[in-house]
A and B are shown apart, each in its own frame.
Chain A
């Protein structure tokens, strides 16, 4: 599904990602950990093709297509969808219209989708205008539900969200990844099983999202390098107990030269 090969990315003169190799398979959910400033958000922005970043080396393949230099909308149409951490308000554009645009001409029951993420009262408001943290997450999910991507990039689904919203968001993300999201309540389990699953690349600090989704691979991004591939819960435990620096030492590749470069 997604192949990242030796990816180097700079912002201005500074190299932020230094040789990322990552493969995410069909229907696989991958969890990305890392301290603030380690380059996690930059990686997601690079995959979406957002501006202000420069790929200096390497390439990104998505479903067999080299998208390293593709414009944003082409990536979107190929099936990459991103939940933005701090999306801009667009004045005069209602959430309803935005969800319609996300559907790209497919028939979509906007009201039913909005009901699933408790966003019905927001449909006629300008998108993101005055939305709280939880409302932004639900609005982003609503848009992604209409967009139906094959790979979801999710930057900190739990940030700024209260516990009650976390449950709703966690459940919705799971259903999106499992392909069991459905606005038709009548669909049977068998029908649901046959629905298209979605791959995920999720950044988390707290790991709350892990309580809701099935994710079996994770890695730590540290100073622009990926390291420490393990079960996401295991990584979370180590980071919680010993901090990121210890975590890198402990789970490191075993090559002392590599390690000293990462934590330098």
Chain B
């Protein structure tokens, strides 16, 4: 992991901005947010949280059964959130967690009521607007027993950003037979440095589905969220799609710990280096039986760059079943020829394969967001072949 000198960024003193009406945002900011999954029209959303630079800017819940607060409000309202705040992550873990612990700017607290099935996603955006800004956010997500929630969270910088640092703590608590789908869309710039620190715990019968999409450049991003399947029958699945254009350095992995009987973990990561560098990690630890885990990591190098796949499996008791599949390289010639035999030119065939490779249908994202992602893929494709 590369070191980031936090003194290069301003972590204090930026003005707080309140946004009553999301539509009043500047057009270019709106567009950047849209590319990070945030729809200012809030069509088909159960609520919105927006943080700009160093303070919460907008917070609204539109349906019963889900509470959305700025983290500072939540800490005040719930006596410092003793059961949830800094419970899964050690504030002294590294300098990034320390920075977030010492100087909290914002972040969201999202909590469902027991048994509440929230049909439409809650959206959030952590936005860096000012050049040189450093942002410390801390998010707490509590999905109570028997409830269901989908969060779409976008992180983005303003168009033309000359540099920004995002340090984000996220803690997930998924209750018994509860389900959280957490879809994160990153929309950074070639000058952004990013250090999310995430951990979650899933109770018996709970499900955590994590989707991650990174299609744009980022200067330096490192994260390794960890999920503890603590209750019997809990399930975690990570789907990641990442592209690293020239100048990008992405070190991203996920860790699933099978800590109870009948738990299942699955990771599927698809990465493309188109000039940049990717480290694609994955760790599944089987510490209770019976349990199952599968890790799949596919990487293509299209137009330079490096991919370093680091899949890890660890079993510490009898009766654990873990497997992994990793493949890094180029598009198989026979796939291209197969499509050409149906009448596609070589470029059309390559493009079709790349789009399939980056396909996010499995993530169940809203149609408008999927369209934006498809459009972004079409744009990034130009650097690939």
Contact = CB atoms under 8 A, between A and B. Distances in A.
B342 A143 contact: yes
A12 B358 CA distance: 35
A12 to B, nearest CB: 16
A82 B349 CA distance: 16
Contacts of A88: 332, 334-335, 338
Provide the main secondary structure of the chain B interface: helix
A218 B345 CA distance: 33
Given A51-B333, A71-B346, A73-B346, A92 B341 contact: no
B93 to A, nearest CB: 36
Contacts of B361: 92
B352 interface: yes
Given A73-B344, A101-B344, A90 B355 contact: no
Contacts of A228: none
Contact of A51 (B337, B343, B349, B355): B337
A90 B339 contact: yes
B356 A76 contact: no
B359 to A, nearest CB: 3
A190 interface: no
A147 interface: yes
B357 interface: yes
A101 B352 contact: yes
A231 interface: no
A104 B341 CA distance: 12
Given A91-B357, A92-B356, A92-B361, A50 B337 contact: yes
Contact of B342 (A51, A91, A92, A102): A102
26 contacts: A73-B340, A73-B341, A73-B343, A73-B344, A73-B345, A73-B349, A76-B341, A84-B341, A87-B338, A88-B332, A88-B338, A90-B335, A90-B338, A90-B356, A91-B356, A91-B357, A91-B359, A92-B358, A92-B359, A93-B352, A93-B355, A101-B342, A101-B352, A102-B343, A104-B343, A147-B342
Interface of A: 48, 50-51, 71-73, 75-77, 81-82, 84, 87-88, 90-93, 98, 101-102, 104, 126, 143, 147
Given A91-B357, A92-B361, A101-B342, 4 more contacts: A48-B341, A76-B342, A91-B298, A101-B344
